[in-house]
Chains A and B, each alone.
Chain A
Amino acid sequence: MTTTIYVPCDTTARSLGADAVAARLTRAAERLGVDIQLKRNGSRGLFWLEPLVEIETAAGRVAYGPVAPTDVDALVDAGLFEGRQEHGLALGDIEAHPYLARQQRLTFSRIGLTDPLSLEDYTTRQGFDGLKQALALTPQGIVDEVKASGLRGRGGAAFPTGIKWQTVHDTPAAQKYIVCNADEGDSGTFADRLVMECDPFMLIEGMTIAGLAVGATQGYIYLRSEYPLAQTMLDEAIVRAEAAGYLGENILDSGHAFHLEVRLGAGAYICGEETSLLESLEGKRGLVRAKPPLPAIEGLFGQPTVVNNVLSLAAVPFILDQGGQAYADYGMGKSRGTLALQLAGNVARGGLVELAFGTTLRELMESFGGGTRSGRPLKAVQVGGPLGAYLPQSQWDTPLDYEAFAAFGGVVGHGGVVMFDDSVDMGAQARFAMEFCAVESCGKCTPCRIGAVRGVEVIDRIRAGDAADDNLVLLADLCETMVDGSLCAMGGMTPFPVQSVMKHFPDDLTRPQAEGGR
């Protein structure tokens, strides 16, 4: 009898030795004469347990983790191939783990269960059911379904996806485009990467549906160059989807065409901003464009273009398969559906947590995250990437909802939650926010290009105790100028983390530094 063993193949599992674990399992099986089939599945997103090995048994899958390469022989001796659970790393049925059982996985329902590149695995778990539903609808019918779902852009701006699609649908043009923003540059985020590495057909399906809805026949996935594995997976998934008739000139014999191509970015954070991304796709420097015109009217190569984040497009197959209302049934207020939260930084149980909007930050960090990895008290948390404010304890009871965060000047952004323990120097974090902007500014507008450089200098002076009070006034003024005067969110939001440090952690900013304060 063949025993099926799963060893995840995503970047995180591999960064912790999954390939070596897989190799050792194969050697152990050969040594013992056990007939195994090793499957490289996606990660389930419980990253503190990676590499998470699972064995298929008569009673279901049995999990072990985190398995270091050096644990393999002892695990095999303790009956891993038979699914025995005496070893200390045995976890039993991972789906019963509260971390997973308490989630509401609509978008991430398949990750970790399947071989990411197996069309058979994909289609046996509702894969392409949404596309089939879409093919039975009119383009307007598809747009209406997305509108009914209440889906808002998951990249961070939270613009209603259905309205964007309607604009592109209503704008006549010989050629329209679907562009997927896969330039997931925010520190603390990895949900896009998980979609692309662990369930790439879902993104292909979502983009194809978008193409049908608005009348676009060409799609581009603009992928950051920091994700080499995602590129490999997407390229192969596209080849396989084309060969099986899910992409190409005649999708599932419907007469509709949709072509898809991965385009690699080149290490520029600003290219996650949609107009800068379009410039880059056109082969130029990634300079931000003034809006209007909206990309939905004049986008890629001047044509009407849907630019959506990976997670927005990945939510679409579920919405078309189950109906917009089924998605809208989750969430609160104007934030409908689920949000892919990513627990990162100094966290004991980091990973992907997909939940309906409305959970509080504290609940997420404590009952899912389990506090800090270091075991020290939590001091600050940055939500929404490098342009998001640092939140002190008094704000941790805020529900994760676009409007609730906006009410105090916070952003949910792409759902990244980066936790810091009490050893963090918040003055250094404020300085880094300005430094990052100086490195990554596209240079088009002055408040961002010059402001970030001056921001680093002013913070250095404050930290050196050089006329600190005067320089704090100057810093406050500079932040205001950047917020009000920048062309896009890069310069316009870089002050948010700085202002939050000035407001909530002022002592860290003015405390004299030992050496240089970097």
Chain B
Amino acid sequence: MSHPTPQPADTALAAQLQAVIDQHAARPGAMLPLLHAIQAQHGYIPDAAVPMIAEALRHTRAEVHGIISFYHHFRTHPPGRHVIQVCRAEACQAVGARALEAHVKSALGVDYHETTANREFTLEPVYCLGNCACGPSLRVDDEIHGRMDAAGFDRLTAQLSATVVEVK
């Protein structure tokens, strides 16, 4: 249970996490704001955060884990440099989202919830970005792109990538 000699990196991480937890713990219904704040800081919810949140909010670790795993938005592993979400919902399906989805997977060489080997891109599905009159849509980090097609996607990833994306 306890780690008698924490590594320096762990200590730094724990201090960062504790600062975020202290900032939010007193808010009514603090759990989601807290998880969002941690993910905003680290890109994911580190395992080390779970017991710390449990203690601060008087939950069991199992409850905290259950909450994190319930919500699609929260990740428990570090994502790539950019997170790409492809809309899979009906309005985008009506204008070619299934073909776009297939292209994205093959161009990146990954399936949903996976990260490219060069750690550039993490691919996730999303069910509606609210851009339904101008689909197919995808989100890269906090930016939404409309009327996306295979060629548009290739241009976009070429711009985003420090290196040329390898087609496997």
Contacts and interface: CB of A to CB of B under 8 A. Distances in A.
Interface string B51-91: 00000010000000011001111100000000000000111
Interface residues of B, number: 42
Nearest to B129: A226
13 contacts: A11-B131, A11-B144, A12-B133, A15-B134, A189-B130, A190-B132, A229-B144, A265-B32, A268-B70, A281-B32, A283-B29, A344-B91, A373-B95
Nearest to A349: B133
A374 B135 CA distance: 13
A50 B146 CA distance: 11
A268 B72 contact: yes
Contacts of A416: 91, 132
B133 A386 contact: no
Interface residues of A, number: 63
Interface of A: 11-12, 14-16, 47-48, 50, 184-190, 192-193, 225-229, 263-269, 280-286, 301, 342-347, 350-351, 373-374, 382, 386, 416, 418-421, 424, 428-429, 432, 436, 439-440, 442, 518
Interface in B13-33: 28-33
Contacts of B90: 187-188, 345, 382, 386, 418, 429, 432
Contacts of A343: 133
B108 interface: no
A285 to B, nearest CB: 4
A282 B67 CA distance: 12
Interface of B: 28-33, 35-36, 57, 66-67, 70-74, 89-95, 98, 126-135, 137, 139, 142-147
Given A263-B33, A267-B72, A283-B67, A11 B130 contact: yes
Given A15-B146, A345-B90, A266 B71 contact: yes
Contacts of A16: 134, 146-147
Q: Choose among B36, B90, B129 the residue with the greatest number of A CB atoms under 10 Å from its CB.
A: B90
B146 A351 contact: no
A268 to B, nearest CB: 5
Nearest to B36: A264
Given A189-B130, A225-B73, A344-B132, A12 B146 contact: yes
A355 to B, nearest CB: 16
A227 B93 CA distance: 20
B93 A432 contact: yes
Contacts of B31: 283-284
Given A15-B144, A283-B31, A284-B67, A440 B127 contact: yes
